[in-house]
Amino acid sequence: MLDIQTQLFEAQDIRLGPIDHDTHPEIESKWTHDAEFMRLMELKPVRPLSPAMVKKQYESIEKEMDEQKNLFYFTVRARGDDHLIGKAAIEWIDWTNGNGWLRLGLGAAEDRRKGFGSQVLKLLLRYAFAELNLYRVTAMVPEYNEGAIRLFQKFGFMEEIRRRQALQRDGRTWDLLTFGLLRPEWEEQAKSHE
């Protein structure tokens, strides 16, 4: 039977939504002042961004979504009061081979460690495999982002690449890891959870 009843954007505590150009730049600008969070997410030198700079980024994200058709970007909201929790995206989609890259982050410290990450990833995977019909998804994670590594492992991702010493921060080097999950692996999981 065709299951189109299951809502793609709704989870227990969170839901996926679009960008709000009026209220989100202010909030995301605050997140960028958290160097620790930004260093988990970014590989370029981190720096705080003003709301005006975040707004520009949002504009270029929507432009890319519209013109290139290889980026699907979501904001993560609390189901209760709809406040902005984080962002999630499937990017750099290679349609010929059916590949996409995942990116997710929960910006506010008080929204972390509540299992929201799992709920976001579950939605993203369903979206990638059941809506975009991708064959595989990939996530790049710095060796020091232990939370992200645990999350991807929990969902059955396999560590596929370890770029030795590709990262340098705080005066030492770290590996850059790539995790991958294939559609048959995801389907197997989905079956066993039913």
Nearest distance, CB of residue 55 and another protein, angstroms: 11
- In the complex, which residues of this chain contact another protein (CB under 8 A)? 29, 32-33, 35-36, 39, 43-53, 56, 94, 96-99, 135-136, 138, 144, 158-171, 173, 178, 180, 182
The smaller minimum CB distance to another protein, of residues 86 and 180, is found at: 180
Tokens 């290139």, residue? 68
Give 8 or 35: the residue with its C-beta nearer to another protein: 35
| Nearer to another protein (CB atom), residue 9 or residue 103 | 103
Largest CA distance in the chain: 56
Beta carbons within 10 angstroms of residue 24's beta carbon: 19
Q: Which is nearer to another protein, 15 or 136 (CB)?
A: 136
Phi, psi for residue 168 in degrees, rounded to 5: -140, 120
C-beta of residue 92 within 8 angstroms of C-beta of residue 100:
yes
Which of 93, 161, 75 is closest to 131 using CA atoms?
Answer: 93
Q: How far is the CB of 2 from another protein (least distance, A)?
A: 25
DSSP 26: H
Nearest distance, CB of residue 13 and another protein, angstroms: 28
Report which of 70, 76, 61 is spatially closest to residue 118, judged by C-alpha positions.
Answer: 76
Closest to another protein by CB, 3 or 36 = 36
Antiparallel, parallel or unpaired: β 14-17 and 72-78: antiparallel
* CB 171, min distance to another protein, A: 5
- For the bound state, the minimum distance from the C-beta of residue 137 to another protein, rounded and expressed in Å, comes to 10
